[in-house]
Amino acid sequence: MKESFPLIWIPLLPLLGAAFNLLLGRKLSRRWVHTVAVGTVFGSLVMTLFVLRQLYAGWDSHHHTMVTLHHAVFDWINAGAVQIKFGLMADTLTGVMLFIVTFVGALIHLYSTGYMDHERDYARFFGYLNLFMGAMLLLVLGDNLVVLFLGWEGVGLCSYLLIGFWYDKSGTQKLGLENANAGRKAFIVNRIGDLAFIIGMFILFAAVGSLDFADLSAAAAQGPQGPLMSSYAPFGFGPFSLAGVAALFLFIGATGKSAQIPLYVWLPDAMAGPTPVSALIHAATMVTAGVYMVARMNFLYMLTPSVMAVVALVGALTAFVAATIGLAQNDIKKVLAYSTVSQLGYMFMGVGVGAYAAGIFHVFTHAFFKACLFLGAGAVIHALHHEQDIRRMGGLKSSLSVTRLTFLVATIAIAGIPPLSGFFSKDEILWKAISTANPAAPWLGPVIYVLGMAGAICTAFYMFRLYTLTFEGKCRLSAEEQAKIHPPDWRMATPLVVLAFGALVLGVLGLPGLFGEHANFFHNWLAPTVDQGAKFAALAIPGAHVTPAILSKSHGAEGGLMALSFAIALLGSVIAWRVYNKGPSVWARNLTDRFRGPYNAIYNKYFVDEFYFLVVIWPFKKIAWLLWKVVDALIIDLLCVRGSARIVDLMGRLVRQFQTGSVQHYLAGLLVGVGVILYVVAQPPDDFRIRANSIKAAGAPLKVLVGERVFFDARRPVDKAMRALEYKWDFDGDGKVDEPQAPTQQKGQKEQAQRWSKRQMANFIYKKPGRYRVVMDVRDTRWHTQARETQVIDVIDPNAPKVPVSGSSTHGKGVH
């Protein structure tokens, strides 16, 4: 851990350049703009070389040890458990990426000064380009996933800005929204990838508690008991190992960024941006970020063979599918775009089978020859004034000789014809693919090898088709267009030459095992960082981890396979050369006619864009509109909010009817009220009941003995108001008033009717047994109401013989 070198300056320099250009650039002359822009990038390149020297010094090729430069800049996010520091680190893997980014970046900056010479927003372009360089360098240098994510989304932003650079044009000439849409599509697809990436980060954080690569690798090193190996069932789906789930989510993020199968749709549209942008971002640097991330997290991926299988398979599939689409494209940049997607597929195939060094080496070589191809195409487009359809070009080798030569070298390299770098890196990947055994998916090796080889043939074919249609044969341009062709000036030519030379020579860095154990410089260089994963995996999942099969020892097989891939590459190239030598050939025409169906599928890119539109974009728009109009406007707003207001209004209107203003209506209401109150209040009491001998059973005939004094009680249960009630009793049912006895013998029915007493209780002695009906009349003097209550009483003679009562008790006749 050496703090020797302030690594922050490598990304900071381009960022400062970007700030300078974006803020002040508009006002300054072009000289200022591009000197600052190119200067800062070359500054970073120099610093990178310095770092590489230090790394080289500390690197021991035999014992696979290296030195890592660290630079903890400041505490970034710290809230309780979340302690994220903004730290940078540089080890051998970073070294390689740094070199690619800065070297190719510097060349492309130089190239851009020529390419964008007549452009109006000159400063803005270079501002964005520098911003991109800064973000990419941050991504590569970050020492924890969050800083990597910072760079990750930073480059996503820059690709959005640069793709939509000609924001008011469709394509390069006519006005329209296409470029802007392409930029937006790129950003959103990247963002979807980033969504998965961030979830992966959270899973790792929840398990390990930190996101620094050092801590993560330490957690991975803890073997089976480590946090990474604990079982984890996200969203209820089956128990996977935590490392597996996190790795999968991170890989989905990588597919978004590096344009693999599900999320590659944005890359072909990204060609809407200026060609140097395509060269830098969509060929050399940004798209390789995914591969770098997988390589950096090799310790995580090695723990989960199943996810590595997924990575390899997706890579292989992408390689093959993209290559087939490439066959049928007629736009020079579209062909190169699909070629990039295909080559990225190869890289993921490499890292997917555990051959991280091979994958990164392919990134290294691909950066050179793909950049060279793109810049060559750029030179052609620049010369032909934005003509991109290869069918209308042809025969440019005479006018653009330098471009033709560099383009040819790069084409041979990418086709995979030795001794150029392309062959070595691609062959290494194919060799590692077939020779590595992945216990989780034993069938994986051969399958991806076949896919890879098929992809290789197509690559060779469409690359040479592109070359021959563009440069060979007779020129299909109109006379005056041909006149206007001008060869690229030095600023555009030198990068082409340098890159072509790189493509030619760099193969030597990664010679296959055939040439001796330590011949592969690249493998040894990356070993310290990349092979950690293998060691941890052997510890964590003994026996179940990905191991290079014994086959890798026998050089014979390797040699044979190398010859096979060379033959295939040669075959593809020669066929393409023969077919398209004279220009768009008739043979190709009727071939495509015969296979109309598949050709159509390939030409329309398997209708993936339309599929996505139908499955994702259209429903999204419809749901959004539906939610707004129905849920928001109708249900919540109209029904609940306005509804309650309307109810109140309705009630108000209802009550208003009564306010007529006419006094007499009010009086009528008053009278009704008084009437009701009087009626309710002035209710005479009516709950009279007689209870005798305080026997509670109401209704049942009362058993009383002859001669026994019977007490009758007419008090009402609740009588707080002490009503002025008067009572009259008739005990023996003879209709005469027995109680109150008349004080004086007054004759006549009227007096009897008059006699009322206020006493509520009375008593009587029955002489003869039998059944009597006691009648009580009650009068309310205040309300002048009268009520009558009856009670049946059986008087029994105690000394009469017991007669078995057999239902013969006749009514009224007592038994004597």
Pick one of 63, 784, 802, 816: the residue that binds another protein (CB under 8 A): 784
* Per CB under 8 A, 167 contacts another protein: yes
Burial of 172 (0-12, 13-18, 19+ CB in 10 A): middle
In the bound complex, what is the minimum distance in angstroms from residue 300's beta carbon to another protein?
18
Q: Which of residues 731-760 bind another protein (CB under 8 A)?
A: 758-759
Helix (H, G, I), strand (E, B) or coil at 397: coil
Q: How far is the CB of 757 from another protein (least distance, A)?
A: 9
**Residue 585: is it exposed, middle or buried by C-beta count within 10 angstroms (0-12/13-18/19+)?**
middle
Kindly tell me which residue out of 60, 610, 637, 751 binds another protein, with binding defined by CB under 8 A.
637
- 483 contributes a contact to another protein by CB under 8 A: no
Q: Write the binding mask 27 to 66 for another protein: x where contact by CB under 8 A, - elsewhere.
A: ----------------------------------------
When the beta carbons of 636 and 800 are compared against another protein, the nearer one is 636
Name residues contacting another protein, limited to 80-99 (CB under 8 A): 80-82
Kindly tell me which residue out of 9, 76, 99, 599 binds another protein, with binding defined by CB under 8 A: 76
CA triple 530-531-536, angle to 5 deg = 120
What is the closest distance, in whole angstroms, from the C-beta atom of residue 793 to another protein in the complex?
A: 26
The Cβ-side half-sphere exposure at 245, using a 13 Å CA radius, reads 26
Q: Which of 516, 675, 701, 707 binds another protein (CB under 8 A)?
A: 675
CB burial readout 241-252, b (16+ within 10 A) else e: bbbbbbbbbbbb
Helix pair 490-505, 421-435: axis angle to 10 deg: 40
* Residue 187 binding another protein, by CB under 8 A: yes
Region 486-545 residues binding another protein, contact defined as CB under 8 A: none
CB of 360 to another protein, least distance (A): 25
Map residues 110-149 to x or -, x wherever contact with another protein holds by CB under 8 A.
--------------x---------------------x--x
- From the list 6, 176, 239, 442, which residue makes contact with another protein (rule: CB under 8 A)? 176
Give the C-alpha separation, 477 to 581, whole Å: 16
651 binds another protein (CB under 8 A): no
Structure tokens at 622: 């419809």
Q: Which of 14, 17, 114, 154 forms a contact with another protein (CB under 8 A)? A: 154
Mapped onto helix, strand or coil, the DSSP state of residue 751 is: helix
Closest CB to another protein among residues 182, 396: 182
- Beta strands per DSSP E along 664-783: 691-692, 702-705, 709-713, 725-730, 761-765, 770-780
Rule CB under 8 A: which of 707-726 touch another protein? 720, 722
Closer residue to another protein (CB): 490 or 628: 628
Q: How far is the CB of 341 from another protein (least distance, A)?
A: 22
Residue 251 CB, shortest distance to another protein, in Å, is 17
Q: Which amino acid is at 67?
A: V
Q: Does 78 bind another protein (CB under 8 A)?
A: yes
Q: Does 443 bind another protein (CB under 8 A)?
A: no
Q: Does 206 bind another protein (CB under 8 A)?
A: yes
Half-sphere exposure of 303 (CA within 13 A, CB side): 31
Size of site (CB under 8 A) for another protein = 78
Does residue 688 contact residue 760 with C-beta atoms inside 8 Å? no
Are 54 and 13 in contact by the 8 Å Cβ rule? The answer is no
Q: Does 646 bind another protein (CB under 8 A)?
A: no
Applying CB under 8 A, among 16, 198, 221, 575 the residue interacting with another protein is 198
C-beta of 202 vs 595, nearer to another protein: 202
Strand positions, DSSP E, 490-622: 547-548
Of the candidates 567, 580, 362, 363, the one whose C-alpha atom is nearest the C-alpha of residue 463 is 580
Is 667 a binding residue for another protein by CB under 8 A? The answer is: yes
Q: Which is nearer to another protein, 594 or 720 (CB)?
A: 720
Residues of this chain, 219-278, that bind another protein according to CB under 8 A: 234-235
Q: Which of 412, 378, 630 is nearest to 504 (CA)?
A: 412
Of 712, 691, 798, 814, the closest CA to residue 762 belongs to 712
Please give the Cα distance from 14 to 132 (Å, whole number): 8
Minimum separation from the CB atom of position 195 to another protein (A): 5
Q: Residue 612 is which amino acid?
A: Y
Q: How far is CA 260 from CA 201, 203, 439, 517, in A?
A: 20, 23, 24, 33
Q: Among residues 288, 224, 801, 789, which one has the least CA distance to residue 540? A: 224
Q: Does 350 participate in binding another protein (rule CB under 8 A)?
A: no
Taking CB under 8 A as the rule, which mask of x and - marks residues 758-777 in contact with another protein? xx------------------
**With respect to another protein, which residue has the nearer C-beta, 587 or 628?**
628
| Binding of another protein by 636 (CB under 8 A) | yes
